[in-house]
């Protein structure tokens, strides 16, 4: 349960502080329409709610902490019996690590979003139960034995043998497992005009990364006798009622990257993620990763569906719309320290964050703690994979003075993640989608971290 009234966004009780990666005290913050007051409110609550000590300090010598001399019950007593409910859950001490909805962001809970708690995660894989969700018409738990996938086209010159597959038939075919990020095109979309939301969960949490398992779509298209010279586009359709359809260029299928995925992080997809079958389109915005996939049509031109003509278009400064801008450009975000967290003391911190590019691998990430005057190159943690999240880190001694922390990613095409000023010069301030600007977090003297934008 979150400590926030979902309707009003009001804090119902003092949020409990808890330890996040790198020993920074985490504060549960929720925002209604992204007001800064919540950061302040939560900060005050965090100070009163602090129970531990030495949580964010440099380690103390062993004799410094008498707690080590007391033998707790778990050292002397008998532990719990083997779990019988068959599917493990996180520790009860981790209940603050939740995906969250932004109160007031959407009118219904069906056509809605939940954000992944990036500030609480390690490494690059998003636990399946914390994967962000974007549904246009609610989620379903579809019976896989009744699910079908149809592959068709307008005539037999474009596709020789249209086919219908059962899940059993698909799952018998040769499969691959690959790590990829999925990012909603609207991720960070609230920040175009100004600072809108307090935490990186809300600024960047429509982003997740999994190991997906499935059949390369090219293999199925080969079996159906698709004529790749004519069939240059694919229309993907889901089995939910949202009529959400997107055109996928055939080059992506021919490259072997597009998957008909049924597996996620070693098990079947979660219902929220499209069980039993979804399209995985590496590097492309989330909307093309059609869930509950029931039909693929091949054709010789883009389909210009409503989700291509009116939605997922970029309003440019001149008033015109940019269409089919589907690739997620290179982007990064520092997840610790990030908005809503509190640094309890000066001293050593590991700055850590995520970088990704829809065009390939992340080549380099630079980090600044002085708002961009000086940049240092961060460590990239292996493995660095194409169209996948990359974890970066950097050592930092915080001197207790205000600091502005930013990260700037460069991908292997040489593309450099832009500053807000540079992005707005080209794209204006009234867009929704495809905001990949450099994020700034202000560490205040009090230790409170907040979302800021530099002009």
Ligand X SMILES: Nc1nc2c(c(=O)[nH]1)N[C@H]1C(S)=C(S)[C@@H](COP(=O)(O)O)O[C@H]1N2
Among 18, 43, 115, 132, binds ligand X (CB under 6 A): 132
Least distance in Å: CB of 206 to Mo ion? Answer: 7
CA distance linking residue 225 with residue 155, whole number of Å: 12
Closest CB to ligand X among residues 165, 441: 165
Touching ligand X, residues 176-205 (CB under 6 A) = 182, 184
Among 286, 340, 358, 418, the residue binding Mo ion under the rule CB under 5 A is: 286
Torsion sign across C-alpha atoms 443, 444, 447, 448: negative
Question: Using the rule CB under 6 A, which residue among 24, 259, 287, 394 binds ligand X?
Answer: 287
- Residues 281 and 251 sit within 8 Å (Cβ to Cβ): no
**Non-local CB neighbours of 32 within 8 Å, separated by 6+ positions:** 8, 9, 38, 102, 103, 104
Taken as a whole, the chain contains a residue count of 455
Any contact of residue 292 with ligand X (CB under 6 A)?
Answer: yes
Tell the residue number behind the tokens 């029931």, with chain if given. 294
Choose from Mo ion, ligand X, none: what does 132 bind? Cβ within 5-8 Å by kind. ligand X
- Measured CA to CA, the distance from residue 31 to residue 40 in angstroms comes to 11
Site string for Mo ion, 131-150 (x = CB under 5 A): ---x----------------
Among 30, 191, 240, 308, binds ligand X (CB under 6 A): 240
Smaller CB separation from Mo ion, 159 or 182:
182
Residue 135 touches ligand X, criterion: CB under 6 A: yes
Size of the site for Mo ion (CB under 5 A): 4
Residue 69, SS3 per DSSP: helix
Cis peptide bond upstream of 210, omega within 30: no
Q: DSSP letter for 159, please.
A: B
Shortest distance in whole angstroms from residue 132 CB to ligand X: 5
Choose the contact partner of 277 out of Mo ion, ligand X, none; CB within 5 to 8 A by kind: none
Helical spans, DSSP H, in 11-116: 37-49, 73-76
Smallest separation (angstroms) from Mo ion to the CB of 362: 22
Contacts of 294 (CB under 8 A, 6+ apart): 147, 148, 149, 150, 237, 238, 239
Q: CB of residue 106 vs ligand X: minimum separation in angstroms?
A: 12
Alpha helices in 304-419 (DSSP H): 306-309
Quickly tell me which residue has 């962001």 as its tokens.
Answer: 105
Tell me whether residue 100 or residue 134 sits nearer to Mo ion (CB atom). Answer: 134
Minimum Å gap between C-beta 203 and ligand X is 16
* Nearer of residues 130 and 298 to Mo ion, judged by Cβ: 130
Quick one: 60 or 109, whose CB is closer to Mo ion? 109
Strands 163-166 and 176-183: unpaired
Q: Under DSSP, is residue 20 helix (H, G, I), strand (E, B) or coil?
A: coil
CB of 264 to ligand X, least distance (A): 9
**Which residues in 149-208 contact Mo ion (CB under 5 A)?**
184
Helix or strand holding residue 376 (H, E)? strand 376-377
* For ligand X, the closer CB: 41 or 274: 274
> Which lies closer to Mo ion via its Cβ, residue 132 or residue 212?
132
In whole angstroms, the minimum distance from the beta carbon of 289 to Mo ion comes to 9
End-to-end CA distance of the chain: 37
Burial class (CB in 10 A: 0-12, 13-18, 19+), 151: buried
Asked if residue 290 binds ligand X (CB under 6 A), the reply is: yes
The reply on whether position 287 binds Mo ion by CB under 5 A is yes
Which residues contact Mo ion by CB under 5 A? 134, 184, 286-287
Which residues contact ligand X by CB under 6 A? 131-136, 182, 184, 208, 238, 240, 242, 244, 272-273, 286-287, 289-292
């Amino acid at each position: 349960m979150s400590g926030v009234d979902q309707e009003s966004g009001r804090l119902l009780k003092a949020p409990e502080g808890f330890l996040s990666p790198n020993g920074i005290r985490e504060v549960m913050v929720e925002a209604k329409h992204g007001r800064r007051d919540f950061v302040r409110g939560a900060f005050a609550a965090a100070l009163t709610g602090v129970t531990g000590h030495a949580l964010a300090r440099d380690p103390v010598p062993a004799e410094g902490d008498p707690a080590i001399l007391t033998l707790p019950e778990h050292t002397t007593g008998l532990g719990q019996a083997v779990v019988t409910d068959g599917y493990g859950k996180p520790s009860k001490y981790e209940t603050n690590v939740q995906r969250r909805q932004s109160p007031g962001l959407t009118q219904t809970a069906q056509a809605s979003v939940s954000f992944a708690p990036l500030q609480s995660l390690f490494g690059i894989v998003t636990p399946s139960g914390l994967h962000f969700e974007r549904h246009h018409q609610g989620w379903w738990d579809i019976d896989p034995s009744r699910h079908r996938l149809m592959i068709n086209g307008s005539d037999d010159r474009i596709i020789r043998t249209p086919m219908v597959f059962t899940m059993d038939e698909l799952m018998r075919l040769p499969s691959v497992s690959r790590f990829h990020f999925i990012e909603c095109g609207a991720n960070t979309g609230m920040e175009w005009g100004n600072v809108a939301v307090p935490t990186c969960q809300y600024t960047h949490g429509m982003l997740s990364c999994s190991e997906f398992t499935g059949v390369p779509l090219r293999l199925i298209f080969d079996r159906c006798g698709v004529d790749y010279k004519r069939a240059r586009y694919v229309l993907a359709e889901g089995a939910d009622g949202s009529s959400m359809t997107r055109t996928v260029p055939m080059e992506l299928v021919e490259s072997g990257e597009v998957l008909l995925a049924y597996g996620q992080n070693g098990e079947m997809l979660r219902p929220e993620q499209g069980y039993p079958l979804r399209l995985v389109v590496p590097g492309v915005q989330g909307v093309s990763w059609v869930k509950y996939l029931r039909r693929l049509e091949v054709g010789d031109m883009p389909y210009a569906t409503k989700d291509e003509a009116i939605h997922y278009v970029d309003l440019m400064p001149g008033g015109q719309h940019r269409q089919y801008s589907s690739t997620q450009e290179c982007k990064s975000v520092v997840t610790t320290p990030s908005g809503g967290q509190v640094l309890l003391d000066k001293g050593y911190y590991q700055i850590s964050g995520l970088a990704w590019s829809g065009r390939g691998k992340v080549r380099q990430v630079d980090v600044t703690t002085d708002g961009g005057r000086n940049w240092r190159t961060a460590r990239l943690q292996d493995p660095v994979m194409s169209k996948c999240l990359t974890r970066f880190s950097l050592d930092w001694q915080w001197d207790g003075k205000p600091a502005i922390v930013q990260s700037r990613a460069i991908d292997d095409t040489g593309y450099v993640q832009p500053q807000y000023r540079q992005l707005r010069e080209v794209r204006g301030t009234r867009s929704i989608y495809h905001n990949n600007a450099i994020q700034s977090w202000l560490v205040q003297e009090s230790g409170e971290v907040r979302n800021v934008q530099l002009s």
